Chains A and B, each alone.
Chain A
């Protein structure tokens, strides 16, 4: 089987989510990558070095700069004449583009797979991760999005794939990019961090969140996450949100502070290797999934913890 993987990037750097998707694709067969963007040859060079990659297609065109689905999907569909499966990381970019590709190919997408069981058989979480379904595709071509946290990352060095320039239909004229308000952060990216310190509604306000959660995260070299309640209350921007509707994370250690553990939140973090919970309510559902729990007042515990680390 020949697979085509959409590379996640910002025209300068290749994003880690790509590496896990390459691992999933390699279980199906030969791996080819597509780098669609503008001025993104450096990304293609990095993609060619990923271990196990056979070929890199580079579509360098102003129409692909912001990876608008309306422009990228027809490009992918063109390349699918010579491929059997299209895989994209289950990031906001992948989730935006892949279903558009699937519909144009008249196939059902298999969303957010967590394992490859066979050439056409996959498992994926449903009902906010409360059930795992095994699904088998009967379609001629496969379109798949891959949950990055459940596949090991392919080695980013060691490969020596050739780079082939390709062009697609270009700008559809249907949509245009206006602006991106990026969240500036020097901390590790949430979805690839080894340690995450996450805060909930109990943090009271934005200033308290900043005072308590951030220094602890800094001490641990951790990314900062949040529950939906903390985001809705305005403590932190919404791209900090961990959960069914936010980011899905699986760090080595997830420290949940002042988070009760609603099912929508657990859907985003319960595959973490070790979960640490700090909460004053000893009956909070978070303690049912936590490996290490500490019952008490976070306003005393967190500063003490930070100072003792």
Chain B
């Protein structure tokens, strides 16, 4: 079974994003970028499926500007077999929306015929949490979102999902889309020899036009601002003072 793993290049999760003064967006110039943390978990899970003999080949895909290739090389260094880069223009505001990404992934799924598409539950830049569900809808396949456990058995996959009230387990007919939650696994680091080897692994260069997908945005972002700043607070010196404050708030 082939596993398709979409990965996204995003601002590194440790970086505090700065909003541009003109309100046009977040300043990404000279900011450290990395693979979206949920996608690293997806790559890791794909590799574990291969190590268990469930997956035969892992294909990593990224849709984005030229530098998205670095993210694909990271996936290859972790253990993906080959990569597809769907290159989009560099200019600001050309961020491809989840719907267009899902359409491109649907076209790739039609070509590659994967048994599972494993992807992150959300990207930490736009925080949309849509692409996996949208792909599943367009592909006409089931979805296992927010997965904390994935077990393939025959022609179905059992997915344990992190839901608000606890853990829900569902069984999905393959092929299926599974989106990863943080607790699914602990992603491995790429070793130096594997980073070197990844440089010679195949990486196909494509464009959205190759898949006949229009990436024009449906949502117009008119303004991006800083969230309201909280008023500076006070420090109390003792538990008694804290109790008095809590009582004044009417909670104690």
A residues within 8 Å of B by Cβ?
10, 66, 68-70, 73, 91-93, 95-104, 106-112, 121, 124-139, 172-183, 191, 194-195, 219-220, 228, 231-232, 237-239, 244-245, 247, 252-253, 263-264, 270, 274-276, 282, 287, 289-295, 301, 304-305, 308-309
Once A173-B173, A245-B182 are accepted as A-B contacts, the answer to whether A275 and B220 lie under 8 Å apart by CB is no
Classify the secondary structure of B's interface with A: mixed
Alpha-carbon separation in the docked complex, A191 to B165 (Å): 11
By the criterion CB–CB under 8 Å, are A131 and B225 in contact? yes
Interface residues of B in 127-147 (CB under 8 A from A): 127-138, 141-143, 145-146
By the criterion CB–CB under 8 Å, are A175 and B162 in contact? no
Alpha-carbon separation in the docked complex, A68 to B16 (Å): 36
Distance in angstroms from A84 CB to nearest chain B CB is 16
Which of A103, A124, A263 has the most chain B CB within a 10 Å cutoff? A103
By the criterion CB–CB under 8 Å, are B141 and A174 in contact? yes
10 residue pairs A–B, Cβ–Cβ below 8 Å? A99-B133, A103-B138, A134-B221, A135-B222, A138-B220, A191-B164, A238-B183, A253-B246, A270-B230, A292-B233
Distance in angstroms from A56 CB to nearest chain B CB is 23
By the criterion CB–CB under 8 Å, are B26 and A104 in contact? no
**Which single member of A99, A129, A135, A295 contacts B221 (CB below 8 Å)?**
A135
By the criterion CB–CB under 8 Å, are A133 and B17 in contact? no
By the criterion CB–CB under 8 Å, are A137 and B16 in contact? no
* Interface flag for B235 (CB, 8 Å): yes
By the criterion CB–CB under 8 Å, are A182 and B165 in contact? yes
By the criterion CB–CB under 8 Å, are A182 and B166 in contact? yes
Once A127-B26, A131-B225, A292-B234 are accepted as A-B contacts, the answer to whether A276 and B242 lie under 8 Å apart by CB is yes
Once A92-B162, A309-B246 are accepted as A-B contacts, the answer to whether A99 and B130 lie under 8 Å apart by CB is yes
Can you add 14 more A-B contacts, CB < 8 Å, to A111-B129, A138-B220? A66-B168, A68-B170, A69-B143, A92-B146, A99-B134, A103-B99, A130-B226, A174-B141, A191-B164, A263-B16, A275-B233, A282-B235, A294-B236, A308-B243
Interface residues of B in 201-243 (CB under 8 A from A): 217-227, 230-231, 233-243
Once A108-B98, A125-B127 are accepted as A-B contacts, the answer to whether A131 and B224 lie under 8 Å apart by CB is yes
Which of chain A's residues have a CB closer than 8 A to the CB of B17? 127-128, 130-131
Which of chain B's residues have a CB closer than 8 A to the CB of A135? 219-222
* Interface flag for B90 (CB, 8 Å): no
By the criterion CB–CB under 8 Å, are B134 and A102 in contact? yes
Classify the secondary structure of A's interface with B: mixed
Which of chain B's residues have a CB closer than 8 A to the CB of A292? 233-236, 242, 245
Bitwise interface map of B from 100 to 129 toward A, beta carbon under 8 Å scored 1, else 0: 001000000000000000000000111111
Which of chain B's residues have a CB closer than 8 A to the CB of A305? 239, 242-243
* Interface flag for B251 (CB, 8 Å): yes
By the criterion CB–CB under 8 Å, are B125 and A126 in contact? yes
Which of chain B's residues have a CB closer than 8 A to the CB of A121? 222
By the criterion CB–CB under 8 Å, are A100 and B133 in contact? yes
* Interface flag for B192 (CB, 8 Å): no
By the criterion CB–CB under 8 Å, are A134 and B99 in contact? no
Which of chain A's residues have a CB closer than 8 A to the CB of B16? 130, 263
Alpha-carbon separation in the docked complex, A231 to B243 (Å): 28
